[in-house]
Amino acid sequence: MPRKRILVKSIDTSISYQVIGIDLAKHLVSACLITGAGEIFGIDRLTYDDLLKSAERMSPTLFCMEPCPEVHYLAEKLQGYGHHTKVIDGAAVKEYIKTHFGGQKTDLNEFSHARERCSHRCERLKNLVVH
């Protein structure tokens, strides 16, 4: 049975999260934050600046996201703050959305499934170090 998502406007950096799933868009991100106790917090609109400022202040956690043009830049920034990052295989995301959301790509209400998706079918991140 799905757990209820608690809508919030920002990331509470005093909470330790087990995984944070983020859906990247051009100017904003949607986020689903899952605590070790299983609480699910959802943020529908968060700027990249706010995400990075919060990530800089929070304890290390796992960030999961699907492939897009910004993913390598964002992953490098998050790893620089001590976080782990995984890129979820686009086919896995597409199949999960199809079976759980009826094609509504922006609905993160049941993104707690990210825990399982982040453990397998992940893509490699590019090494952005320039020599």
55-93: pLDDT as tens digits = 999 999 999 888 888 888 999 999 999 999 998 876 766
pLDDT < 70: residue spans in the chain: 1-4, 90, 92-131
Secondary structure (DSSP) of 48-84: HHHHHHHHHHSPP-EEEE---TTHHHHHHHHHHTT-E
Average pLDDT of the chain, as a whole number? 77
pTM here is 0.73
Q: How many CA atoms lie within 13 A of 108 on its CB side?
A: 25
User: What three-state secondary structure class fits 93?
Assistant: helix
